[in-house]
């Protein structure tokens, strides 16, 4: 096996992240709109009755471009974000190895994955804030922000760097445990799917896609409740939740019950498999290419 190279993980992870955004952004838009839709007035139906209704209304009202609202922010952020994410995972693995050929246990892989979640928050938090605001803007009919850069400028003008990084704690609460689950599950599935006598590096494309897609589902099974709280908090007017996520949690459970923490579940799970399958396939392809062109990197 190749020695763990955080630097190769950095470049391969960036390519994997780009693959993930192109495949998964439309359903991410649906997820955010479902999570942030206002509570209907008594006797009135909700704005969206579910995932497919939201998809249909977005497509009819805004066309295919509506499904890709706010994609500039994650595309700009996703390459360095996933590069840093996979770099953090590679670094976390290497820090726990005594010798380059040490095989890590699953708890060690989980710990390495959690480190990657800490690494990505610096990029993830502002990118998520901008993306969510742009995604719900089209649904409300207002045009406060002309694009990602304009949104970032206005947020900074209104509240400084804290306005841009609103929701950082919730992003950490979502990504640290979810990233641990993400990478541990992927490595576990790769080992299970490797035929006896073969190397993990020889896995076929369908098996890599299956392992990556299922890892994405395990990731989001952990991440959905804090993601709902994060989306609500990041898109709320200034001052609405003075005590942070605790106020969001109280309001959601009081008004909509515990099931509200799983809003957008269908959209998330439909998106999770293909998007993360594409991410890990892109990562593995890029890693093989890097091992070929720069074996000593």
Give the pLDDT band (50/70/90) at residue 138. low
- Is residue 43's pLDDT more than 90? no
Instruction: Give the phi and the psi of residue 153 in degrees, each rounded to 5.
Output: -65, -45
- Is residue 139's pLDDT more than 90? no
**Mean pLDDT computed over every residue of the chain:** 88
* Residue 80 region by backbone torsions, left for phi larger than 0, else alpha for psi between -120 and 50, else beta: alpha
What is the distance of C-alpha 160 from the center of its chain?
25
- Is residue 286's pLDDT more than 90? yes
- Is residue 21's pLDDT more than 80? yes
pLDDT, greater one: 148 or 215: 215
The number of domains in the chain is 1
- Is residue 297's pLDDT more than 90? no
Contact 73, 132 (CB under 8 A): no
What is the distance of C-alpha 213 from the center of its chain?
13
Range of the domain at 59: 6-293
Distances (CA, A) of 95 to 61, 107, 143, 177, 204: 51, 14, 47, 19, 29
- Is residue 73's pLDDT more than 80? no
Give the pLDDT band (50/70/90) at residue 85. very high
1, part of any domain:
no
157, part of any domain:
yes
How confident is the model over 213-266, as pLDDT tens digits? Answer: 999 999 999 999 999 899 889 988 888 888 888 999 999 899 888 888 888 788
Amino acid 113: pLDDT: 95
Amino acid 185: pLDDT: 97
- Is residue 74's pLDDT more than 80? no
What CATH number is given to the structural domain containing 155?
Answer: 1.50.40.10
């Amino acid at each position: 096996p190749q020695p763990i190279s955080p630097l190769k993980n950095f470049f391969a992870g960036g390519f994997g992240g780009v693959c993930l955004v192109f495949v998964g952004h439309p359903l991410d838009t649906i997820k955010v709109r479902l999570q942030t839709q206002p509570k209907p007035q008594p006797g009135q139906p909700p704005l969206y009755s579910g995932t497919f209704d939201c998809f249909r209304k977005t497509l009819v009202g805004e066309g295919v471009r509506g499904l890709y609202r706010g994609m500039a922010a994650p595309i700009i952020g996703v390459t360095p974000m996933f590069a840093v994410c996979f770099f953090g995972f590679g670094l976390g693995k290497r820090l726990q190895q005594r010798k380059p050929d040490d095989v890590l246990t699953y708890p060690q892989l989980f710990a390495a994955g959690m480190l990657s979640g800490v690494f990505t928050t610096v990029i993830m938090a502002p990118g998520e804030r901008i993306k969510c605001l742009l995604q719900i803007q089209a649904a409300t009919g207002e045009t406060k922000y002309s694009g990602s850069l304009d949104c970032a400028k206005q947020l900074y003008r209104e509240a400084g760097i804290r306005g841009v990084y609103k929701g950082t704690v919730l992003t950490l609460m979502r990504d640290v445990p979810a990233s641990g689950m993400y990478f541990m599950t992927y490595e576990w599935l790769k080992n299970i799917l490797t035929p006896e006598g073969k190397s993990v590096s020889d896995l076929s494309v369908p098996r890599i896609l299956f392992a990556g897609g299922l890892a994405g589902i395990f990731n989001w099974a952990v991440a959905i409740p804090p993601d709902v709280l994060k989306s609500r908090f990041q898109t709320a007017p200034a001052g609405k939740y003075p005590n942070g996520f605790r106020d969001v949690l109280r309001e959601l459970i009081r008004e909509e019950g515990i099931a509200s923490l799983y809003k957008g579940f269908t959209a998330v799970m439909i998106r999770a498999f293909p998007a993360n399958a594409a991410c890990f396939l892109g990562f593995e392809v890029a890693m093989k290419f890097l091992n070929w062109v720069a074996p000593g990197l």
